[in-house]
Structure 1
């Protein structure tokens, strides 16, 4: 089989598979437990946070591991919206967003948030000008996928951020 959908998912390196299998074999304890297996798993988890933080240039306390992208998107979007709702209740996103982002934004409308779902052109592109025109004084979050998982379309995040 020929697989070309690397915009949506990518097979892991063999080294990653080997490492994950080894960790699952040797460090299966609950890192919250107070026994040796748990303490060993906790040490490994802390080290993982340190490695990720160093790679991203952040503090280990800023690293949160989740089960996947959907949980991460829900946590980020709903968390930011609820945290900053005293500053405004407007969110800007794109109509072609990943379903986990689109649905999180749609669900926030049930809590009184207003979401602007920007349209894209025939090539799936949204412009910095469109985003800027949608931002209002009460906008607290702009969420735009960098690379669309279905089409591979790359959005101009640098231009949007600069604008």
Structure 2
């Protein structure tokens, strides 16, 4: 994975998703198409990681890495059509399997892959996997609810 050229670096990713500073967990876009996105993350080893607890960075946080990849995928798809991305909210994560307890002790980059399985203008279903050196770290499915009202600049409850 280290030989892959980046299509976007962390500042480019942060400009497209609603996560800023150290909460932008992805540091590279490796590949994407209409259905799938593949990203890289290396900050999981940082002692100051924003999701790290006293016991370290738990593998369940792989869900957040995947959610950010999904947000980036949606932003890239919208950008490719000239549309504004719809804000999305992670509604559920199902069938999640963590293959290890922690992420912070993995020496190399994480690869985060999300594949859009189904969706419409209101909701999306993604399958995701996070891996390290070709070995699984976590995988599952995530449902994302889109809010096109917020994308238009209106606020919830605004009659416009």
Question: TM-score surpassing 0.5?
Answer: no
Q: Which has the larger radius of gyration?
A: 1
TM-score range, shorter chain: under 0.3
With structure 2 as the length reference, what TM-score do the two structures score?
Answer: 0.22
Greater fraction of residues in strand? 2
TM-score for the superposition, normalised by structure 1: 0.21
